[in-house]
Structure 1
Amino acid sequence: MRAAGKLPALPSDEEIALALSQSVAESDTVHKEPSPTGLITMRPPADDVAKRQAAMEKAANTKPVLTRVFQVLIAIFYPIVLLVLAIRLVTSSLFLWVEYHRPGFPVDSFGFTTDDRMTYGSYTVDYLLNLAQPRYLADLVDPFGKPIFLAGEVSHMADVKTVIVMAFMAGLALAIVMVIGMMYLARRSFGGIRRALFAGSIATLALIIGIGVFAATGWERFFTDFHEIFFTDGTWTFYTDDTLIRLFPSQFWTDSGIFIGAFVLIVASLTLAFTWPTKDRRQAVTAGRHPGRRSA
């Protein structure tokens, strides 16, 4: 029999643990090549991109409902407020003074001097603007103690006062709405005020030109129709020697109509000029809608 050889020594527990730790360390340092498909990203179809861009543009250009409402209201109210303002300028002592002292204004054939007209005419205008009762005019007498105004004249001026006060209150209310709308548009809509006033000025010019043509082609008819709308028949016609006719002859009303029309026409034309959508203003509006973009 052959003697058996010596068996190799088995590794100790410490040697086994050391070999395992070295194997784990080598596996951590192994370099892995990136997958060829890992860098590929999915690009959406061109149609989807176009739809998204169109939706974004539409959302940027869409105005809130309240913005459109205020723009429409300002455009509608502008001619009314401007007309009421012109009427307010006519119902003033300053306008009376200019009228009574201008060359060519007809004198009173029944004896009123210019000072008399200024005195009694100012009382009439003041009555339209104050809170006094009709006796404010009814108690007015001349140096001989005779009433300046007849009962029918006082009654008519009371009717005129009602119309004037309603017109001024309505104009004030509309002006307040316009101011509120402008404050809102100034914060929410770049160029919104300009567009609203531009539309309002166009409407005003069309309105005043139409009224002007109608009045110029038949002033007496226009004057009569105006009174028939606001006053009862028979309450607004007087004799030539009545005080109201002597203070406010036909020439006064003709001049008043010309002043109101000219004032509204000039102010509306200036508004149109200053709000005209020029190229620079359109670019400014575009830049305001898209702050990240700049015009080339």
Structure 2
Amino acid sequence: MNDNSPTPAKRTEPQPDPQLDTSSDSDEPAFAWMTGQPESRADRKAAEAAAVPDDAARARATSADAAPAADETADANPASAKPATVEPASVGSSTPGSSTPGSSAGGSSAAGASADEGKQTPLTGAARHQSGPYSEPLPTSALQVRPPEEEVERRNAERESAANAKPVAPRIWQVLLALFYPVILLVLAVRAVTSPLFLWIEYNRPGFPGDGYGFSTDDRMTYGSYAVDYLSNWAGPRYLGDLVNRSGASLFKDGEVSHMADVKTVILSAFGAGALLIALSIVAIAYLRRRSPGGVRRGLFAGSIVSLAIILGLGALAVLSWQQFFTEFHRIFFASGSWTFALEDTLIRLFPGQFWIDAGIVIAGLVFLVSVVTLILTWPTRRRRGLLKDDVESVEVAA
């Protein structure tokens, strides 16, 4: 076989799709599967040279494999393909005085191997990172870039604050429940006073002053029931204006009927506000039971404290000066001069001053009693707060 034999003609192949052209791809290991070249050409030639037993066989293998290697390279990378060339070997030379074939072939092979080793592609940055015994991530990886310590501390603080923050809506409903509770108690206490039962207890209790103008207890109970019923029904002023006494005269004067109409407006407004607050309190209780464990207890506990503060303050003012307290109360809700009457008028005979003192005591007593019971039932004990003894001790030590 002649070492200078011409290289087989280059096979003509169809041009590849430009979108599938991998000639410009990087030599990174990540693109090796696209090019189909698991190793470089220089590495393959060095491996083939090491596998040939002698110089002559190595030369024949080199000349025989040069063309297929070139064709394969051209198929895989058409843009950068070059015709394969074979350097002439000095094997079998018959020129006198030439050096030994073995030494000549060996030197040529050693030089070729050195040249091939010199032509090996240097390792890139990614290959250097992955070629050592310890794998190291790329320094440009976004997942490995750690933010500054100040940023890390800020994010941790925000995360902890968000985890420990309590929702605003349950707190709002707790505050509303605490504000609604004393008003509801006052309205219910007023409703208990404006009833025929309380009227009967007052007229029949020992020590209640009698009427000096001729009304008996039965007359008071009959006429007083009309007045109390008028405050809670939807009848007009004629309900009282058309009443007559035993002599046939009008029972209530026009001024008395007008004042009772004003009282009815205030009472019905208070009852309506109380009913609305009761409905809102039911909504607040239902919401807190679902969203805030212990929220109902905390709201009622705060409401009972507010109720006690209000009733104790009003009671102190009433005890210090009842007449001034009664006068200022009427000035707030009624026009001046519309609520003063003579001693012989029917309203004064049915509802003397002692009646209003007793009514005030009953209202204050009912609100105080219910507030104290609520305060006791909602007192924040360890069991109600869901805390164990060890937890309480740890909280105290931390504080």
User: What TM-score comes out, normalization by structure 1 length?
Assistant: 0.77
Number of the residue aligned with 1:244: 347
> SS at the partner of 1:109?
coil
Q: CA deviation at 1:53?
A: 9.8
Correspondences of 1:23-42 after superposition (within 5 Å): none
Q: What do residues 75-114 of structure 1 show as CA deviations (whole Å, max 9, x unaligned)?
A: 1111111101100000000000010010000011111111
Matched, 1:94 2:197: yes
Matched, 1:277 2:277: no
In structure 2, distance between residues paired with 1:36 and 1:181: 63
In structure 1, distance between residues paired with 2:268 and 2:165: 41
Q: CA deviation at 1:153?
A: 0.3
Matched, 1:187 2:256: no
The one-letter amino acid of 1:249's match is: P
In structure 2, distance between residues paired with 1:156 and 1:66: 43
Q: CA deviation at 1:284?
A: 5.3
> SS at the partner of 1:111?
coil
Match of 2:358 among 250, 255, 261: 255
Correspondences of 1:105-184 after superposition (within 5 Å): 105-184=208-287
The one-letter amino acid of 1:188's match is: R
Matched, 1:75 2:190: no
In structure 2, distance between residues paired with 1:207 and 1:198: 15
Number of the residue aligned with 2:21: none
Number of the residue aligned with 2:169: 66
The one-letter amino acid of 1:90's match is: V
In structure 1, distance between residues paired with 2:201 and 2:223: 15
Number of the residue aligned with 2:331: 228
The one-letter amino acid of 2:252's match is: F
Correspondences of 1:193-212 after superposition (within 5 Å): 193-212=296-315
Q: What do residues 31-81 of structure 1 show as CA deviations (whole Å, max 9, x unaligned)?
A: xxxx999xxxxxxxxx989x869945x555433221111101001111111
In structure 1, distance between residues paired with 2:381 and 2:195: 39
Q: Specify every segment of 5 or more residues in structure 1 that has no aligned partner in the other structure, as ranges.
A: 1-34, 38-46, 286-296
Distance 1:60 1:277, change over 3 A: farther
In structure 2, distance between residues paired with 1:202 and 1:60: 31
> SS at the partner of 1:69?
helix
Q: What do residues 175-218 of structure 1 show as CA deviations (whole Å, max 9, x unaligned)?
A: 11111010000000000000001111111111111111011000
> SS at the partner of 1:190?
coil
Identity of aligned pairs, percent? 58
The one-letter amino acid of 1:229's match is: I
State the structure with bigger RCO (CA 8 A, min sep 6), 1 or 2: 1
Q: CA deviation at 1:143?
A: 2.3
Give the greater-gyration-radius structure (CA): 2
> SS at the partner of 1:145?
coil
The one-letter amino acid of 1:218's match is: S
The one-letter amino acid of 1:177's match is: L
In structure 2, distance between residues paired with 1:113 and 1:284: 62
User: What TM-score comes out, normalization by structure 2 length?
Assistant: 0.58
Give the CA RMSD over aligned residues: 2.4
Distance 1:226 1:60, change over 3 A: same
> SS at the partner of 2:340?
coil
> SS at the partner of 1:89?
helix
Q: What do residues 97-137 of structure 1 show as CA deviations (whole Å, max 9, x unaligned)?
A: 01001000001111111111111110001100000000100
Number of the residue aligned with 1:288: none
In structure 2, distance between residues paired with 1:80 and 1:166: 13
How many residues get paired?
A: 244
Distance 1:134 1:107, change over 3 A: same
The one-letter amino acid of 1:105's match is: F
In structure 1, distance between residues paired with 2:179 and 2:163: 26
Number of the residue aligned with 1:219: 322
